[in-house]
Amino acid sequence: MAVLDKRRAPEWERIWETINAMIGVFQADPQGKAVTILLENVRDYIADLFAKIDSGAPVVWYNLGFNPELIFALGGVGNISIAECAALSSIVGDQADTETYIDIAEAHGYSSECCSADKGGMGGVIKGLYPDPCCMVGINTPCDSQVSVVSGMAEQRNKTPLFVIDVPPYDDERTFKHVAGQLRELIPFLERHTGRKLDWDRLKSVCDCTNRTSEYLWQWMDWRSCAPTMQPSKLCAMTMVLMIAFTGSVWGKNIARALAEDIRDKVQSGVKYFDEKVRAIWYQDPVWWDIQLYDWMESELGLVIPMDIFGYYAAEGIIDTSSEETILYGLARRMVNCHPMSRQFRGTMKRYIEDFMFLHEKFKADCGIMAGHIACKHSWGGIGLFKEACKKAGIPLLVFEFDMFDSRILPYKQLQFEISRFVNDLVLPRKARGEMAS
Amino acid sequence: MVKGAVKSEVLDKLRAVINSSRPQCAIESKSPVVGYLCSYTPPEILMAAGIYPIRLRGAGVEDSSSGDTYLSHLNCSFARHVTAAVLDGLYDYLAGQISVNTCDHIRRANDAIVAKSDLGYHGYISVPRSFRGSLFPWYVEELNALKSSLEAHFGVKITEDALNVAIEKTNQVRDRIERLDALRRRDPPKINGADVLTSSVAARIMPPEKFVELADELIAASEEAEPIADIRARVILIGGELDDPRFVHTIEGQGAHVAGDMLCYGTRGLGRKVEPGADPIKSLARAYLYQIPCARMMGEFPERYQTMLDLYRGVKARGIIFQRIKFCQIWSSEVHNLRHRFESEPLPMLVLDREYGLVHSGQIKTRVQAFLESLGA
């Protein structure tokens, strides 16, 4: 299917076609309001991106830990997270395309042990799915795989200027100011290479939009913490998607608002869509390659995920737009301390464990599921301390290895087996005996 | 023994130091001993505090299970071995340790060591991941913070004079490693790559005065030795962590000569000579931050590549051997990047993934033999 009446790479056309088909399906579903609006806004973003490409507008590439507000504030500049095509193919396109990108990256010497989001990104770059960038931004959050993919991305476009943002592993004012200072440096870099002047009034509007998005996300989290949870589990990871591509845009705000209003209406209507038996905090990566797994968990096991690490949006994200300094400080703080994963992965295990305990309590969970994306070396590296903390708190924890974008690592049936055994043989009997932590 | 290896007592002494999980020189030290985990930690600051610095390794750890308990089988075996060594008490003579945000594995090894060991002091440095000049002050601040933290914990004053003395001593160590490196670069070489790595690893463990003394003996013995003959091909060895000369020995046992390296425990990680002066912390920061970049540094591959090309041509190498510990992510795009460069400038390269502490000599022998054959050697 042509995108904006023009033929594109088949992979993009498949994403476009599937999104439009899914919108049609979910529009007809009374429960599907939030998903419909989410998909519509993803479609609008893609349409806008291709319109910019067609008009010859500059495009900036970046990696997973960066947020695009400064790019939006330039006006008329395309923003591409290089993991975008792999992620979209997996979630709303053809999973086989994502796995092809992964294979391409590995065939070009990119290590199999890196994150599949980044392997997919590299495969997409090598395959030529993205328009040439005028410049690139690389950030070392949330993990080493980002360090690696920035290096690979920079080499693939080794004539294109790269700006590196260095985020220290600390959680303090000095760190936020250090990152804010780098955002200050980034502005003339972006201006020079995009040929656009950053408009501070436009940046203020972008940040106002981000702030509204933040407020909607906090409302959404509060509604999702109600037990029973009234919105499908599969929607809880969408904060991450929103932060990477849409934060500061009307698309992001629309998605956050739809998520919040959808669950508010469902809670207020009191109509339950599934019989909730067990609530789990899904810690680590979603099963992007088949998010219908969450439907299966709800219908077959009564297992609900009220919140996961990709959905959790920490309550420190409001940007003070009163001055240039406060804007940059707010953007920096939000990027390193609210961006899912960057918040939990870049420092010590203390934050990682504390956030889990907070979510477990706030969302009245019965247990935790550590969905161990095999490339997440930071979380696997802290698994012993995490298990100890859960044991001490009396929280049952399922830990398994899988890959969030590659279905070949842990097959669907095995995944179902691991989860159902945990719920049926451990959590439900313990819950029945009243042995759960609360 | 590999052809041309210097048969001297001095090498035996150096080998004894690096093969021991509890080196005598450190255990018998009258000064407090502090371990550090990364080449971006300047040991000169520790020396200036009257502390004996030792680079942490997992030498002699055959069972990493206590490290595996806290990390996982999906983590780097170097990080797991170091964690096991600390938790199992092999480093019970340490007064503390200093970690760096080198990579995710080392960060988590540090978490486990902080939480589960009874070491009295834990220092930390956040090292910028780019050479951009505006990030330099951050690193200087970090080194000054480390200095203050050491002063507070150990009740000492680190003076500029003491720092300059430590810089001079460490420069002497660098000088000896450079001289040994020059001997193995000769054609024909006077010393093999395994023995140079033995020396450079020992340089991270021994007191500088003692190392310089032994290195001088080794240099003299090597100068007098017969040149190494019957070399099938000169190669360079690059990549991530490698502190095990047995690995190099296995490569050289097939007829290759490792004529140069760019390894963290080899010549790369010792950094450039430091200029003593009025602001020694700044001098140290300059030398350590702008060392030949580790892959943890983002966007610095072009400099590393150029350095590698210069080395390759300078030592008249015929091939490149890249090695990396399995699961290491910061080095994981290197092969992709190198191959990308080799599309326009082809160079022969052998890629070897390895596990810390295991040499897998059969597999390595076969692959090195095949590589040498492919070079027509």
Tens digit of each residue's pLDDT (9 = 90 or more) over A198-209: 999 999 999 999
In chain B, residues with a C-beta closer than 8 Å to the C-beta of A158 are 302, 340
Q: Which tokens in the block code for residue B33?
A: 């001993």
Rounded to a whole number of angstroms, the distance from the CA of A195 to the nearest CA of chain B is 22
The tens digit of pLDDT for each residue in B93-104 reads 999 999 999 999
Which pTM was predicted? 0.96
In chain B, residues with a C-beta closer than 8 Å to the C-beta of A148 are 295, 329-330, 332-333
Rounded to a whole number of angstroms, the distance from the CA of A126 to the nearest CA of chain B is 11
**A90-94, A147-151, A189-193, B7-11: the lowest-pLDDT one:** B7-11
In terms of Cβ atoms closer than 10 Å to its own Cβ (0-12, 13-18, 19+), residue A95 is middle
Rounded to a whole number of angstroms, the distance from the CA of B111 to the nearest CA of chain A is 6
Q: Which of A113, A154, A162 sits opposite B329 (nearest CB)?
A: A113
In chain A, residues with a C-beta closer than 8 Å to the C-beta of B334 are 151
Confidence of residue A436 (pLDDT cuts 50, 70, 90): confident
Which of A:354-393 have CB within 8 Å of B?
372, 374-375, 377-378, 380-385
pLDDT at A247 (0 to 100)? 93
Q: Which residue has the tokens 């995710």?
A: B104
The tens digit of pLDDT for each residue in A302-327 reads 999 999 999 999 988 899 999 999 99
Once rounded to an integer, what is the mean pLDDT over residues B173-192?
A: 97
Q: Which one has a higher pLDDT value, A243 or B265?
A: B265
CATH class of the domain defined by A10-200? alpha beta
Sign for the CA dihedral angle at A228, A234, A237, A243 comes to negative
Give the number of other Cβ atoms within 10 Å of residue A179's Cβ: 24
The tens digit of pLDDT for each residue in A391-415 reads 999 999 999 999 999 999 999 999 9
Once rounded to an integer, what is the mean pLDDT over residues A158-187?
A: 97
Determine whether the interchain pair B336/A108 forms a contact, defined as Cβ–Cβ distance below 8 Å: yes
The mean pLDDT value of chain B amounts to 95
Q: Do A58 and A51 touch, CB atoms closer than 8 A? A: no
pLDDT at B7 (0 to 100)? 61
Which of B:85-114 have CB within 8 Å of A?
101, 103-105, 107-112, 114
Once rounded to an integer, what is the mean pLDDT over residues B165-192?
A: 97
Q: Which residue has the tokens 């992965």?
A: A345
Percentage with pLDDT > 90 across chain A: 92
Once rounded to an integer, what is the mean pLDDT over residues B18-35?
A: 95
Helices (H), A59-199: 69-74, 84-92, 95-107, 116-127, 144-156, 173-194
Determine whether the interchain pair B298/A147 forms a contact, defined as Cβ–Cβ distance below 8 Å: yes
Which of A:227-256 have CB within 8 Å of B?
none
pLDDT at A437 (0 to 100)? 66
Cis preceding-peptide flag for B280 (omega within 30 of 0): no
In chain A, residues with a C-beta closer than 8 Å to the C-beta of B340 are 108-109, 155-156, 158
Which of A:174-203 have CB within 8 Å of B?
178, 181-182, 185
A169 touches chain B (CB under 8 A): yes
Q: Which residues of B154-164 are buried (b: 16+ CB within 10 A; e: fewer)?
A: beeebeeebbb
Q: Which one has a higher pLDDT value, B319 or A271?
A: B319
Which of B:47-76 have CB within 8 Å of A?
69-72, 74-76
For residue B214, pLDDT beyond 60:
yes
Percentage with pLDDT > 90 across chain B: 93
Rounded to a whole number of angstroms, the distance from the CA of B349 to the nearest CA of chain A is 12
For B134, name the nearest residue in chain A, comparing CA atoms only. A182
In chain B, residues with a C-beta closer than 8 Å to the C-beta of A152 are 333, 336-337
Confidence of residue A438 (pLDDT cuts 50, 70, 90): low
Rounded to a whole number of angstroms, the distance from the CA of A407 to the nearest CA of chain B is 18
Rounded to a whole number of angstroms, the distance from the CA of A15 to the nearest CA of chain B is 28
Which of A:27-56 have CB within 8 Å of B?
none
For residue B1, pLDDT beyond 50:
no
Determine whether the interchain pair A377/B130 forms a contact, defined as Cβ–Cβ distance below 8 Å: no
pLDDT at A272 (0 to 100)? 83
For A402, name the nearest residue in chain B, comparing CA atoms only. B74
Confidence of residue A162 (pLDDT cuts 50, 70, 90): very high
Once rounded to an integer, what is the mean pLDDT over residues A2-20?
A: 94
Q: Which one has a higher pLDDT value, B2 or B288?
A: B288
pLDDT at B360 (0 to 100)? 67
Q: Which of B108, B330, B332 sits opposite A382 (nearest CB)?
A: B108
Percentage with pLDDT > 70 across chain A: 100
For B107, name the nearest residue in chain A, comparing CA atoms only. A348
Cis preceding-peptide flag for A10 (omega within 30 of 0): no
Spatial separation of the C-alpha atoms in residues A409 and A395, rounded to whole Å = 27
Rounded to a whole number of angstroms, the distance from the CA of B341 to the nearest CA of chain A is 9
Once rounded to an integer, what is the mean pLDDT over residues A210-217?
A: 96
In chain B, residues with a C-beta closer than 8 Å to the C-beta of A137 are none
The mean pLDDT value of chain A amounts to 95
Phi-psi region of A341 (alpha: psi -120 to 50; beta: other; left: phi over 0): left
For residue B8, pLDDT beyond 90:
no
For B66, name the nearest residue in chain A, comparing CA atoms only. A384
Determine whether the interchain pair A385/B126 forms a contact, defined as Cβ–Cβ distance below 8 Å: no
